[in-house]
Chain A
Amino acid sequence: MLARVTTFAIDGVQPFQVWVEVDIRSGLPAFTVVGLGDTAVRESRDRIRAAILNSGFKFPEGRITANLAPAFMRKAGPGFDAALALALLAASGQVPAHALAGCAVFGELSLGGELRDSPGALAVAEGAHRSGCARLIVPRTRAHEAALVEDLRIVAVASLRAAADVLAGGATPSLPGAPPAHGANGDAPDLSDVRGHEAPLLALEIAAAGGHNLLLEGAPGTGKTMLARRLPTILPPLSRAEAIEVTRIHSVAGVHAGGLISARPFRAPHHTISPAGLAGGGSPPRPGEATLAHGGVLFLDELSEFQRSSLDALRQPLEDGSVTIVRGQQSLCFPTSFMLVAATNPCPCGFAGVDDRCTCADADLRRHRRRLSGPLLDRMDLLVDVHRPTNDELSTSARSSSAAVLARVTEARERQRSRLMERGASCNGEMDTRAVGALVRLDDAAEHELARAYQHGRLSARGRHRVLRVARTIADLARRDRVARADLLLALSLRQRSGAELMEAV
């Protein structure tokens, strides 16, 4: 007897359809799984045998051949267990084969026959919907995630037995109670927790409003991480499509189980991270931190401590908004559209510029600054210094709240959207050289200051573009159509200093 069940494998963060075919013929008892599976797939034979027997079914006797088609694609992980088991039961007549038509199956089995939690259910559900399946059987723990896909009946079951019952005509179990919306809990970070830090708050607002990457400079313990962590709260909320994409990525990476992720992600990898960990890689390729930060904020604390190779690996993701990983015969594309926030000490000891207190050796300083220069800095529009709040500032009340800032940011983004629409950009931070030339208008006083800064050699040509982009955002926040002198001066003050200027600065 031959039976066929639809399931999905995950290729990067995208689903692709896999047909599980099981054939049982008479012969010496044997159970082989073909179709380029990895070790987890090969071991699934033993899990399936135990699960079937422990669920009260009969394990068919005879020569069993299972195939995962298409046979040329590599398949990894235990997510094919349930599909293999149900195909085996259908082939041996223990569940009705016609019930499996139009039904996709996904999940790992335990020896006792339970459907275990399996990452990536949302991607599978999207694949099932796209390929026209009417029903999807998933582990109960993944019910909410799968249910994010509309027009697909989710059969969330806890065990193989329960799945077989539904296929045999039993009632579809109702979905478990809704989980709390992710990120909506009361103790989420908010700008109202911040005391002092006037200039950094201003820079955060500008960064959020224009989608500018931001460099925070300051000694350890001054609040750089605390500030960066609050940036997602003043970014416009994720659209539903974006939210589903973010949820899918996090589900595939196994860092999220539950409902829709509505808060923008904030990822802060440690500086010992490898290039593959940051940009994605490994075998099979897994999304890196850059992809997990997609739609949100990637925060690199102690920027100068990161390996050079790791930072270089971020160049393509920053430039293109996606990263292509080629491993063996596979080539995968991961989305990496994030805002970059980096933090650094002004020097290894943190006291650079304070008369005489800096104890760094020349060699340390040179190494530190060399790390700070380079192509990554080219992508940073803003630089702000973070100082420890004074005692007086700590006892004041909050200056603003995330909601108030978000309202201004949203309005500023709205102004940008109408201007940038035909240029394919969504915020000022994405403007290229030509867009800057065509769209950033300065009034006379601002024009004068810009010319002065450029002629005195305080700005490079590239620095000039960065300043113009930021000045445009500041004017958007101030609801001005032309960039005024004050906007330009503020942008100059917050400009990212090139490596050479940073080097001279100690």
Chain B
Amino acid sequence: MNAPRACSDCLRRAWLLVRLASHLDLQRRELANLLSHTDEDLIEAVGGTRATDVRAEWARFDATAYRERCAAAAVDTLCRCQDDYPAKLRDLDTPPSVLHVAGALGRFLELAAGEAVAIVGARRASPYAMENARALARGVAGRLTVVSGMASGVDTAAHEGALQARGGTIAVLGSSPERPYPPSARRLHREIIAAGAVVAELGPGVPARRWMFPARNRVIAALSEMTVVAAARQGSGAMLTIADAEGLGRSLGGVPGQVTAPLSWGPHMVVRRGGELIRSPEDVLTALGHDGPAPAAARERIDDPQLGAVLEALADGYEPRDAFAAAGLDAEGGLAALAALELSGRVRRRAGGRYTIVP
């Protein structure tokens, strides 16, 4: 599977981006503009005092050695000159010259050819946003591939949801694909590789730099028919993905939150500007023209009226003790009710003894 497939020119382009990574980080100019430059122009534009050296190295580029490095890192390469390069990526003004794929290349091509939804959002997200991202991913799994960026917070929840439902998922990284970023996501990285693929524009052994995140966001947007933002503060990187998806003419969606929460800014903005209002996996599936409801998660019915009252009060955002009072329970009965709801998988305990609803 690790046979050299990508052409030398494309590989040289990928090498050049890595070579100029530190220079690109210093650029204040529009990244999309820079990425559209030819190799020579790019060296000229950002190479600065090292331009001559870089040009010499560029001329000496050894594609075989590059391929060997990829093979050693168990990374497959796929360049834009190849026929099976994902068609959706060609919609970009500047499609990545090479996609580096950690995981089975066949699986990635299969997932990339099918329909996908990107679920993105803030790294520091609320339990509410995380639960929603997880439930959305779980609900569309099997019909749609879930694409995200493996960052902590919403991205992680989205991948986890897809994995829980044994669906396909693609993580697009800014840094090299064979290394988890953030490093704490080791386990998630391993699981995504097993069930889907981790891809990146840049090759093996590249540490993360600031400019790489907006660059990879365009890949997330391009790989997906729809991009849903679960939570994003004003100025969040997730909104760049939304902008990219809008530029590509793809569908947009936002999961509403509390109007007072800064995290709701992004989703509410998307909905106001004509994006879909996403309340459940069905909303995503309907927007993409799938009919029939998402396979309902098998869950127990709540028969006990007091349990139901506690659940409803928690769903309305009350703290547990107020929910007990609403259901007419004392602490003893209320705590037991919480345990029963938790056992049924309807609520999840958060730090500080707060409970969030599992959608």
Contact = CB atoms under 8 A, between A and B. Distances in A.
Interface of A: 198-199, 201-202, 217-219, 346-347, 350-356, 362, 366, 384-385, 387, 449, 452-453, 456, 458, 486, 489-490, 492-494, 497, 502, 505-506
B261 A356 contact: yes
A355 B263 contact: yes
Given A199-B321, A362-B152, A493-B339, A353 B262 contact: no
Nearest to A393: B321
A458 B351 CA distance: 16
A198 B330 CA distance: 8
Nearest to A492: B339
Nearest to B324: A198
Nearest to B152: A362
B332 A347 contact: no
Contact of B354 (A198, A202, A353): A353
B9 interface: no
Contacts of B152: 362
B306 interface: no
Nearest to A386: B353
A477 to B, nearest CB: 10
A493 B335 contact: yes
25 contacts: A198-B330, A198-B331, A199-B321, A199-B331, A202-B332, A217-B353, A218-B352, A346-B351, A346-B352, A353-B350, A354-B354, A356-B261, A356-B263, A362-B152, A385-B320, A387-B321, A449-B340, A452-B343, A492-B339, A492-B342, A493-B338, A493-B339, A497-B349, A502-B351, A506-B351
Contacts of A494: 335
Given A353-B127, A362-B124, A490 B332 contact: yes
Contact of A352 (B321, B336, B352): B352
Nearest to A385: B353
Interface string B124-151: 1011100000000000000000000000
Contacts of A202: 331-332, 335
Given A219-B352, A458-B342, A493-B338, A355 B321 contact: no
A353 B352 contact: yes
B319 interface: yes
- Counting chain A CB atoms within 10 Å of each CB, which of B126, B335, B337 scores highest? B335
B345 interface: yes
Contacts of B349: 497, 505
Given A198-B321, A355-B128, A355-B261, A489 B351 contact: no
A505 B319 CA distance: 16
B258 interface: yes
Q: How large is the interface on B (under 10, 10 to 19, 20 to 34, 35 or more residues)?
A: 35 or more
B331 A352 contact: no
B330 A489 contact: no
A383 to B, nearest CB: 9
A202 B354 CA distance: 18
Nearest to A355: B126
A449 B352 contact: no
Contacts of A493: 335-336, 338-339, 342
A219 B353 CA distance: 11
Contacts of B335: 199, 202, 489-490, 493-494
B154 to A, nearest CB: 13
B352 A356 contact: no
B325 to A, nearest CB: 10
A490 B353 contact: no
A20 B313 CA distance: 76
A489 B332 CA distance: 10
Contacts of A346: 351-353
Contacts of A199: 321, 331, 334-335
Interface string B259-278: 00111000000000000000
Given A218-B352, A362-B152, A506-B351, A355 B339 contact: no
Nearest to A351: B352
A355 B354 CA distance: 10
B339 A490 contact: yes
Contacts of B352: 217-219, 346-347, 350-354, 385
A217 B353 CA distance: 8
Nearest to B337: A489
B230 to A, nearest CB: 13
Contacts of B331: 198-199, 201-202
Contacts of A502: 351
Contacts of A353: 127, 350-354, 356
Nearest to B126: A355
Nearest to B153: A362
Interface string B103-132: 000000000000000000001101110000
Contacts of B345: 456
Given A199-B321, A355-B261, A505 B350 contact: yes
A489 B340 contact: yes
Nearest to B348: A505
A458 B348 CA distance: 11
Contacts of A453: 343
B126 A356 contact: yes
A217 to B, nearest CB: 6
A366 B356 CA distance: 21
A352 B354 CA distance: 9
A486 B335 CA distance: 10
Contacts of A356: 126, 261-263
Contacts of A492: 339, 342-343
Contact of B351 (A352, A384, A387, A490): A352
Contacts of A347: 351-352
A492 B338 CA distance: 9
Contacts of A362: 123-124, 152
A201 B331 CA distance: 9
Given A346-B352, A489-B335, A493-B336, 8 more contacts: A201-B331, A202-B332, A347-B352, A351-B352, A493-B335, A493-B342, A502-B351, A506-B127
A342 B336 CA distance: 23
Q: In the complex, which of the residues B152, B330, B332, B350 has the most CB atoms of chain A within 10 Å of its own CB atom?
A: B332
Nearest to A368: B351
B126 A449 contact: no
Nearest to A450: B343
B178 to A, nearest CB: 23
A219 B262 CA distance: 23
A489 B350 contact: no
Contacts of A506: 127, 350-351
